[in-house]
Structure 1
Amino acid sequence: MGERSHDRSETAEWERLLDAWRPLPAVLFDRHLDVLAATDVAPRLSEAFSVGENLARFAFLSPKRQFEHPRWRSAASATVALLRGFVDEHDEDRASRRLLGELATASRDFSEMWADPETRTRMTGPIVFEGTAVGTVACTYNILGMSGQDECALLVFVPADESGRAAIARLESSSSVSG
C-alpha cells in the first residue's frame, strides 16, 4: 500500500461508511488508488477491489489483467484518468512519483494513456463485469468524493437493471455464507 499507514480508528470509520452502502459493491481507495476498504461483495466482482490491492497496478501490471479483452482499454483509461485527477489535485509525493515511475517503466499502455491529454476522469458511467461467479453483471459506477477526506474517494457500483440486481444479491449471499 501507500507510504502512510492507517490507524484502527480510520479503518473503523471506513467500515461504518461502507455499511451504509451494503449490499452494493463499494470500494474506498486513496489518492494512490490503494484499496483501503471494500464491501464484501466488491472483490467478487473483481479481485482488483480486494483490500490492499492497487487499482492502477492491477490494471497494468497484474498477471490477472485482461488486456486482450475488448473492454480493458476503456477500464484502464478510466484508471489512468482517476490517478491523474488525484495527482493534479495534490502535490506529487514520493509514493506518487514511485507509482507513476513503476507504471510508466513497466507498461507501454500506461505511458501512452498517461501522455494522452484527453484522458479525463468520468465520475459515473457504465461498466460490465464478466466472469464473476454469477456470470456477467452490468452496473453503473459512481465515484464519490468524501467530505473532509480529499485524499480518498468511494467507488460505488449500482446494478444497471433487474438482472444486475439479482446477480449482486447472489454474490452478496455467497459472500455472507463464505465470509
Structure 2
Amino acid sequence: MPADTVREDIRNFLTSRRARLTPQEAGLPDFGGRRQVSGLRRSEVAQLAAISVEYYTRLERGNVGSVSEEVLGSLAVALQLDDVERAHLAALVRAANAPHRAPDRDGGISHGRDSLQQILDAMTGAAAFVRNAHLDVLATNQLARALYADALDTTEQPPNLARFVFRDPRARRFYRDWERIAHDAVGSLRTEAGRTPSNTHLADLVDELATDSDEFAMRWDAHDVEYYRSGQQRFHHASVGDLDLDYDALEVPADPGLTIVTYTLSPAAPHAPAFLRLQQEGPAPA
C-alpha cells in the first residue's frame, strides 16, 4: 500500500473516531450553541490527549513520523478506542513509518495443513472450519458443512464468507443478525488491511466487494475495525430452523493468519434438539 494511502487511512480513521464522540461522552462541558462539526473538534481531542492542536492536526493528516507510544496511548484514551482500534491505529502508524517494508505475514493463506483437517474431523460435536484473514473457508468438518451449506454452495473456490454476506441473497435469511454479521465481516477485513497494508490480494477483494455492493462500500468507508473472539451467533437453517450457537475463534500459532472457528451448544440450550438434528442429518449430498 503506498505511503499516501496509509496516511489517508490514518486521517480517515482518526476523523471517524472523533466524529462519533460528543463532548458529553468525552467528559467535556457543553456550552450550547450550534456546533460546526459532528462529534469532537480537533481542539477538544488535543485537550483530552494533552497535546497541542497543531500537533494533533499533523497526526490526523497522517504525519506520524516519530510519534511516541505515549502520545498514541493518550490519543487512544481521548478517543475512547477499544483494544482492536488501538492495535489498528498502531499498525497504521507502523506502516506509515515503514512504507516499503514487506508485510509481516500474508493473511490470505490459500490452504491448510492436513493435520488441521484431522483436528476438525475429530470435533464431532462441534461445527468447525478453518478460515484465513480474508474470510476464505479453507477446511470444514461434517457438521460445519451441514451448517454452512448455503455459504459453501458456490463455484468460487475457496468459498469466501464476505462474498456470501454481501453478494448472496441467502445470507440475509441464514444470518438472523445480518446487520451485525455484515459489520463484523467488514471490520475484520479492515483490521487485516491495517496489519498487512501491502496485501494486494486483500485489496483486490475489497475493491471487488465495494464495486459490487453499496452495503459493503458504506461500511468500509466507516473505518470500523473488529476482531472475532467469542460470542453467540444466530442462524436460521433451512432444514432445522433457528439456531443460537456459541462460537469461539482460535488462532493457529503455527500458521499465522489462519483461525479455527467452532460452533457449539450446551445440551440444555433451547436449540439443542435442532442442533442435534443437524448433526444427525449431516450435509446434503453434492
Common fold, TM-score beyond 0.5?
A: yes
How many aligned residue pairs are there?
A: 174
Matched, 1:172 2:264: no
Please provide the CA RMSD for this pair.
2.7
1:178/1:62 Cα in 2 relative to 1: closer, same or farther (>3 Å)?
closer
Equivalent residue for 2:215, pick from 109, 113, 137: 109
CA distance in 2: counterparts of 1:136 and 1:105, whole angstroms:
32
| Residue 128 of structure 1: how far off its partner (Å) | 1.1
CA distance in 1, matches of 2:233, 2:223: 23
Q: Is the 8 A contact 1:34 1:54 kept in 2?
A: yes
Q: Which residue of 2 aligns with 1:136?
A: 242
**Greater percentage in helix:** 2
For residue 13 of structure 1, report the CA deviation from its aligned partner. Answer: 1.8
Cα drift, residue 45 of structure 1:
2.2
User: Is the 1:80–1:114 contact (alpha carbons within 8 Å) kept by the matching residues of 2?
Assistant: yes
Cα deviation code 1:37-92 (max 9, x no counterpart)? 1111113223225673100100011243328x762111111111222232222243
- Relative distance call for 1:70 and 1:152 in structure 2 (3 A) is closer
Change (3 A) 1:17 1:85: farther
- Using the TM superposition, give the Cα deviation of residue 177 of structure 1 relative to its aligned residue in structure 2, in angstroms: 9.2
Conserved 8 A contact 1:34-1:52: yes
Q: Which amino acid aligns with 1:130?
A: H
Q: 1:48 aligns with which of 140, 148, 151?
A: 151
Work out whether 1:62 is the aligned partner of 2:172.
no
Deviation, 1:29, is: 0.6
Q: Deviations over 1:90-120 (max 9, x none)?
A: 2432211110100111111111212223442
CA distance in 1: counterparts of 2:163 and 2:236, whole angstroms: 20
Q: Which runs of 5+ in 1 are unaligned?
A: none
**Matched-pair contact (CA < 8 Å) for 1:31–1:87:** no
Counterpart amino acid of 2:151?
Answer: A
Alpha-carbon distance in 2 for matches of 1:174, 1:87 = 39
Structure number with greater CO (CA < 8 Å, separation at least 6) is 1
Q: Report the residue type matching 1:81 in the other structure.
A: G
**For residues 4-83 of structure 1, what are the structure 2 equivalents within 5 Å?**
5-6=110-111, 10-46=112-148, 47-48=150-151, 52-66=158-172, 71-83=177-189
Larger radius of gyration between Structure 1 and Structure 2: 2
Gaps of 5+ in 2: 1-106
Q: Is the deviation greater in 100-109 or in 19-28?
A: 19-28
**Are 1:152 and 2:262 counterparts?**
no
Query: 2:190, 2:127 → 1: CA distance?
Result: 24
CA distance in 1 between counterparts of 2:260 and 2:145 reads: 15
How many angstroms does 1:27 deviate by? 1.4
- Paired AA for residue 213 in structure 2: S
| 8 Å contact kept, 2:240–2:278 | yes
